[in-house]
A and B are shown apart, each in its own frame.
Chain A
Amino acid sequence: MRRATIRIALSAAALVALAALPVRALAQVAMGVDSANGCLACHAAQREAAAVGVHSQHGVTCVSCHGGNAGARALPAAHQGSFIGSPNKLQTAQLCGSCHSDPNRMREYGLPTGQLAQFRTSKHGQLLFGEHNTDAPTCTDCHGTHIIYPPYDARSRVYPTNIPATCARCHSDTKLMAKYHLRTDQLDQFKNSAHGVALFQQQNFAAPTCIACHGAHSALPPTGPEVASVCGQCHALVDQAFESGPHGIASERGKLHGCLGCHQNHSTERVAIDTIGATCDRCHASNSPAHQMGVDLQRSISQASRDIASAREAVDEMAREGRQVGYYRFRYQSALTYYKQIAQAQHSLDLSRVNDLARKVSSVSVDLNDAASTARDDRWEHKLLLAPVWFLSLSAVVLAWLALRALRKTDSTGRDG
């Protein structure tokens, strides 16, 4: 009886104590919200941002960007003081820069601090900062607003395979791009290009995306003389050859858009071997020495391409017959190296070097075809074996048949008799 009375008294005391607590704080406790992110009690839609993304993990809360008082228990108090509401695009760039340009704050994360300065030099930055043009993107347009993932996270808009689509959000918008006289087919061209195939189909993250040629925060199209160097960041040997040849000099003088004189930028297709001469004719007259150079290059390269294919076929043929082709494969690889060097040498328009390399390819190809031909002779000898085999077997069959016939005759005469 006494124990029951004590229990009732304790319960009543607990109820009184609970009733004394402020209702809003009670709601916050029930929702698991702490006072640092009190904003989420009302801004429920952003609750996920408080738990997901790189900023929430490193203590960046609502008030870090929006100001205000996250600990306040009533609306007016929360939206007072340093509260700035939703920052506009310009404010956003400056806001992000307030931390990301500060070496002391970024040191901990090993992040660079030049993004804002770079952004100011880009066409996007020039429009935003110079002309207050809000068509230009700001940091959040590419990186996301409340939930921001690091670039190595596949959910990030700036993850390598997502970058082309992120740029295309604006650059495929025909209405928007028409204002700036820009094309909108870059993404489609890129997807089918060697770079796009490597990135999307082969998941090769060494393949360049938009930012590799245009820059990320400092995005701008490379100018004419810059093109060859930009491509040469990866295609170093080709660039070296190009710069040393007459086209490289023309490019430096601004008479040629570097690589774009013969190749496309976003679709990056190769010049087909049988169109090399025609490509030269796009700029050079058909009676010029340059035209003749194109024709000679085309002849030499197409011969080398036939030679390398026939060398390959010769090795494959020997392999199919079960020959040990390790040595021949090694020779083929050496021919392939020469063949690939032709691709570099042709960019310097050094015809004698191209011819020299083509001759080396041809020489290996002749050797390999000779070896394959010897193997073919051996196979022919195998077939020659059939002559005695057929002679002996047919003779045996004929003799046996005659003997059988003679036996039958004997049997029948025996029976008749």
Chain B
Amino acid sequence: MLGRAWAATTAWSRRFWEDLKASTDASLLAILRFVGLLYGRIDTRLPIDQAFRKSLNHRLSRYAGWRQAFGGITYLLFMVLVVTGVLLSFYYRPSAEEAYQSIQHVVSGVTMGWLIRDAHVWGANLIVIAALVHMGRVFFDASYKPPRETNWLVGLLLLFVIFAFGATGYLLPWDQWSYWTVTEGLSVLGHVPLVGGALVEILRGDPLVSGATLSRFFAIHVILLPWLALALLVLHFTLVRKHGIAPPRSPDARDVGADDEAGVPFFPHHFLRSLIVGVLVLTLVITAAALYPRDVAAPADPAHIPESLRSTWIVADVSRALFYYLGPWGFAGFVLLGLVLVLLPLFDRSPERRLRKRPIVAGVGVAFFLGFAIAWAAGWQLRSTPVAISGELTPVTQPLAVPGPTLPQLKPAPQPTPGTGVAR
């Protein structure tokens, strides 16, 4: 009896294995079919099997390789942020009274809450790096040239959406760092000519950063931006699928478009590559979250200016360094340089892809990407202290360790010296 059961089990297992190995289609389909996901009534009504088969057998351009991984990494990190963000929203309470305590609860009371929260923090930092590396790859490979110029613009819009996600998410922990960094940021934004003042009024919703601001930032972060990102991502991917992968910089390379008969099938070739990259990225996120968690600063207190502010987001580091070392005009100049990149495909339309043949474009690109990297390296070591000057809060940035050129600093209003103002 027992022997017969054993024999049946082993026979079943062998059949399972053989079925997996011998499946005529891609192995992934075999697994899906085996566990019953693709068989049954659903599959007879809907051509799911067919759709899967088509997708898995789709031949990617022969040029698709490791260089193209960063777009996928950015998307993976986006999904990490979506998943951890949804999990965080189960516990997070977007009000000035409860936000801080809810973060404390997530970090110390919820099972694996620390991992969810720090993976979200690290995801938000790594996605900026991944998106910029992806953008740099597209830029230096001249992949933005026709017919892919629309997708370059969509990609840049996605980068701004990533920045907006980070800027609005920064306030949500509602601790001293987030409160005063956002106060600082809005104060800077208020100096933008024409639109700055009105924009700050709308975003802040109150004379001070307060619960009203928190509600606005939360709504933008979890309602407005996700839909915008989804729409842009769909457009981005559709355009990639439509135009295929751009050819490399070699002059002999031909643009093969979307359907390349000589290309590699997505499954299993490209799938394996994606798996390797994806697993490594997820491991990196988890490792960073476990080893370098973001500290929880003191609760936000509008009446008490902290001694120093620590930034925990790359973009804040970069803007702080630009302000400190180059002043507001330097910052504005760098933003303009970024805008030049937006308009680039309008001017640079020749089919030439070799870097040596397009020195101006290469120069602009190197200035932007190298500038970003240098500003980041300098910025993460800066600590800034907001000081009250004539009733308005203005940031004064101080270097912690980096020696740099001394710029004229804003100083607090002079204190009246004791004993002055005596009656005649």
Instruction: Please give the residue numbers on chain A whose beta carbons come within 8 Å of chain B beta carbons, in ascending order.
Output: 144-145, 147-149, 153-157, 161-162, 164-166, 168, 191, 196, 199-201, 319-324, 379, 382-383, 385-386, 389-390, 393, 396-397, 400-401, 403-404, 407
Complexed CA–CA distance, A168 and B114 (Å): 61
Which residue of the partner chain B has the closest CB to A155?
A: B423
Task: Determine whether B295 belongs to the interface, using a CB cutoff of 8 Å to chain A.
Answer: yes
CB neighbours of B424 from chain A (8 A): 144-145, 147
- Do A324 and B108 touch across chains, with their CB atoms under 8 A apart? yes
- Do A403 and B268 touch across chains, with their CB atoms under 8 A apart? yes
CB neighbours of B297 from chain A (8 A): 320
- Do A396 and B421 touch across chains, with their CB atoms under 8 A apart? no
- Do A397 and B296 touch across chains, with their CB atoms under 8 A apart? no
How many whole Å from A381's CB to the nearest CB in chain B? 10
How many whole Å from A184's CB to the nearest CB in chain B? 15
Which residue of the partner chain B has the closest CB to A318?
A: B108
Task: Determine whether B2 belongs to the interface, using a CB cutoff of 8 Å to chain A.
Answer: no
- Do B423 and A156 touch across chains, with their CB atoms under 8 A apart? yes
Complexed CA–CA distance, A154 and B272 (Å): 79
CB neighbours of A196 from chain B (8 A): 418
- Do B287 and A400 touch across chains, with their CB atoms under 8 A apart? no
- Do A386 and B423 touch across chains, with their CB atoms under 8 A apart? no
CB neighbours of A154 from chain B (8 A): 421
How many whole Å from B423's CB to the nearest CB in chain A? 4
CB neighbours of B101 from chain A (8 A): 324
How many whole Å from A329's CB to the nearest CB in chain B? 11
Q: A382-B290, A383-B290, A386-B290 are in contact. Are A166 and B422 (CB under 8 A)?
A: yes
- Do B423 and A401 touch across chains, with their CB atoms under 8 A apart? no
Q: Which of B272, B282, B286 has the most A CB atoms < 10 Å from its CB?
A: B272
- Do A165 and B418 touch across chains, with their CB atoms under 8 A apart? yes
- Do B279 and A396 touch across chains, with their CB atoms under 8 A apart? yes
Q: A407-B268, A407-B269 are in contact. Are A155 and B295 (CB under 8 A)?
A: no
- Do B290 and A321 touch across chains, with their CB atoms under 8 A apart? no
Q: Which 7 A-B pairs have the closest CB atoms?
A: A165-B419, A322-B107, A322-B296, A393-B283, A320-B295, A200-B418, A144-B423
Task: Determine whether B280 belongs to the interface, using a CB cutoff of 8 Å to chain A.
Answer: yes
Which residue of the partner chain B has the closest CB to A191?
A: B418
- Do B290 and A385 touch across chains, with their CB atoms under 8 A apart? yes
Q: A156-B423, A393-B280 are in contact. Are A201 and B296 (CB under 8 A)?
A: no
Contact of B275 among A144, A166, A400 (CB under 8 A): A400
CB neighbours of A145 from chain B (8 A): 424
- Do B423 and A147 touch across chains, with their CB atoms under 8 A apart? yes
Complexed CA–CA distance, A204 and B353 (Å): 70
Task: Determine whether B146 belongs to the interface, using a CB cutoff of 8 Å to chain A.
Answer: no
Q: A322-B104, A383-B291, A385-B290 are in contact. Are A390 and B268 (CB under 8 A)?
A: no
- Do B298 and A319 touch across chains, with their CB atoms under 8 A apart? yes
